[in-house]
Structures are given as C-alpha cells and as structure tokens.
Structure 1
C-alpha cells in the first residue's frame, strides 16, 4: 500500500496561508523610505492588495514600483493570536482598475474587514494598489524557502479551506479534551494543552503548548468537506 502524502505541496500550503493572511508592512525597494504599516488583503489570485490613502507610503509613487509586502497568517487560541506563517511578497505595484475596484474591495472585506474598503465600494476613500508578484519568501513553523511567481500563482489554496477553518474553530471551542486524548494516545505521553492548528485535505496538525506540533495524515485524501469531517471525527473519536 502506498504511504499517504502527509502534507500539502508547498505552493498550495503557501497559497492557503496567503488566502488567510493580512498585510502588516510594506517597504519600497532601493529607497530610503522605512517600512511602514500596511492595510488591505489578498485577492483570489494570491496578489496582495493594499489600501493606499494620502498618508500611506505608496501614495504618489508611480506604478511598477518594486515593493515587498509582509503578509501574516495567525491562529487565535487561548485568547491570543499566534503567527502561523509569514510571507514576504516581492513585486511591482499596479493600480486596481476602476472597473475592478468594487469587486476587489468586497472580496478582501470578507477576510480583512476595514471601513475604508466600504468607502472604496461607494466610490471614494483610499485607492487600491495590488502587487504583481515576482517571488514569495515563506517562513512557517520550522520551514522556510522561496517560491517564484510562476509556482506561486499556478497553485491554489486548499479547496476545502472554508470548511476546514469552520471545523478548526469548532474543535478548539468545544472538543479540545478529545484532541488532547488523541495526541496522548499517538505520542504515548500526557498532553496538557492541545489545539487544532491546521486542517486540510491531507491531514491535521495539532499544536501542544507553545512549540510542539504533531502532524496526523489521513489514510486517504479527503476530497470533500464531508470526507474531511469524517476524517476529523475519526481522529477525535477513534474506535
């Protein structure tokens, strides 16, 4: 029997993190302008989209300015937001065309709500500037590396992402005792604190305490939300 794939391919995992991430900082390459706070989100193709007002660092700079945007994906547990991954997206700025501004703002608001996005929808407020990706540096857990634009943009987020995130929230709110019991059986050691950290069609990652991570692959790929829910149920309630 072929051993199951234990984790998503790197481009898919990075795109999944990007879909959940928010911009935190932007810096302009080759300039003396210090890095500054950034707002916005990530569009459906994986490109950062920034809200740029009169006081923002990108205001007034010409299109095709080379920038680096920091994206951070977090997981909230124990009342604290913990970083899941940091992505540094390097690329060239482009104004979002007026015909696309409304749809782009609405899509970003679903993940990264901001009052200024509603101003964009109404035809005013800050401009939207997106970044044409050149490369992506990723740092997540103990892994790091670089993806070129072709590999990053050709990948897509986990197709079960929405369902997976809902299941993660439910488990962490209601079933952490079962999760701790499962990890204790798998590791043979007592577990005092366990949280569901990542969930995807290939398996689940459980976080123990501050630094411990245990990856549990599914016996077979979970191709649908129902299959993912069954796999998770079997993890929490083994026969």
Structure 2
C-alpha cells in the first residue's frame, strides 16, 4: 500500500465533515476478517482456527489444542503468554496488491476457566458464528487475548490505537456484504464501475492506469488506481452514510445518479 485514501474533489456529498471511518472503526472491521495468525516467542505465525472481538469487549482465539500456541500457554511460567494476533484484510476482487490492511492485536493469551468456556463461546458466536467453536474441548482450545496494544496498517500508514478506543468502536455495518457487493460490481456491472471511475480527476490518471473496486463501507466506495508503478486509492462517498445493508441499494442509486448528472453523455 503506497498512498493514502482521500476523497476526490467535486464529488457528491462532499463536505468539510469526515467522509470515512475512524482508524478505530477500520481496525474493528479489519479485525473481523478471517485470515489471522499468532506470533509469540518461538512461534512465528501459528495457525488460528478462528478469532473474534465480542460485543462486551473481549478478544478470543480458537487454536488447535495440540498446536504450538495452546502448548505454549499451558507451559507459560506466569500462566499467560505474551503474543500478537495478526489479522490481514484481503480485497475480495483481483488486485495487483491484494492486501488492503492489517491489524496487530498485542497482549497476553490467557486460558479460560472451564466454567467460563461456554459463556465465552456464546459471546464469540454472537459476533462470529464459526464452525471452529463446535470443536472447542474436542481438539480445539478457546483462549482470551488481554489487549495491551492495537496497531492498524493501511494505505502506507501505521496508526497506533489504545485498546479502549479499539473496543469502543464498532465494525462497519456493511462488512458482511462488502465482498459480494464488490464482486457483483466487478463482474456484472462494468458500466457502473466505469461511471464511478469517470469521477476520478483526470490529473490522477495516466496512460495505462486501471481503476478497480477496492472497498465498500457505510461511507461509500473506495477505488484503486493501479498505476505503472504503485497505486493510488480514492474514495467515492455516498451523499450520507448508511446504517445497514437495507439502505445500500438506495445509496448506490443516488451515487450513480449524481455521477450520471456530472457526466451527461453517459
């Protein structure tokens, strides 16, 4: 990631107010992605079966009981293990550089008392109902990560967050539908993608540059300009942020209508 995301001038809904998520909101959204690994002393990127940040502000991971992480926690002298959970966010469409963002959650992996495993698993399932939870106690172990530091890496920028700010933020309400929406735009609606791309300032486009869908959140679309060397990301904001998937179709329709009015030849 080589350039920061910024709104293009003259777009619909442009205002002095922010037009995108806060770093804490982005961190919560990225942390909900599936790809994750745990690093600790002597452990370099061990497999995580599942992970989640619950509504009440706890971070849990599910790991193989016979794996490196669970074994290290069982044998930790202090009863917990200093560790880092790395979550990587990949674009759901084909890009030259597919990694959109990463979140590093650092702290201490701690065993969960047997009496607390079921309530912890239920809280986990409320935000991430994954099949790995069914294996807890039968080949999989549920651990808690007591947060000490949170770092978001995105658009060539690294942002440090307090655990309090991270836990107080909410993930984007479109996170679960983003992949399908972007894939549908990319595969089935090239004309709409071209219409969005027409709003990119011409000064930002060079010969051979390609505009690709990069992201979608409650604030609007993000596009990636793949250049000969590197890339540039640009935001196409909705006229107003949406509160959930049920408002998405209307927001997209208004955005496309505004884009057509700005490009009457289309």
TM over 0.5: yes
CA shift, 1:232, in A, is: 2.0
Task: Select 1:84's aligned residue among 100, 104, 108.
Answer: 100
1:99 to 118, 124, 135: 118
Once the two structures are TM-superposed, the CA of residue 175 in structure 1 deviates from its matched residue by 1.8
After TM superposition, give the deviation of residue 22 of structure 1 in Å: 2.6
Higher relative contact order (CA 8 A, sep 6+): 2
| Higher mean C-alpha deviation, range 194-203 or range 132-141 | 194-203
Correspondence for 2:214: 197
- Distance, in Å, in 1 between the alignment partners of 2:35 and 2:59 is 11
Unmatched tracts of structure 1, length 5 or more: none
Q: Which has the larger radius of gyration?
A: 2
Shift of 1:94: 2.0
**For this pair of structures, how many residues does the alignment match?**
230
* Matching residue within 102, 118, 138 for 1:124: 138
- The equivalent of 1:56 in structure 2 is 68
Q: 2:30 maps to what in 1?
A: 17
Cα distance in 1 for residues equivalent to 2:15 and 2:125: 43
The answer to whether the 8 Å contact 2:239/2:254 transfers is no
What corresponds to 1:229 in structure 2? 249
Equivalent residue for 1:35, pick from 41, 44, 69: 44
TM-score (norm 1): 0.80
Residue 177 to residue 194, structure 1, CA distance change in 2 (3 Å):
farther
- 2:75 partner SS: coil
Q: Secondary structure at the match of 1:57?
A: helix
* Distance in 2 separating the partners of 1:46 and 1:174: 39
Q: Which runs of 5+ in 2 are unaligned?
A: 1-13, 261-266
User: For residues 104 and 220 of structure 1, do their structure 2 counterparts lie closer, same or farther at Cα, with a shift above 3 Å needed?
Assistant: closer
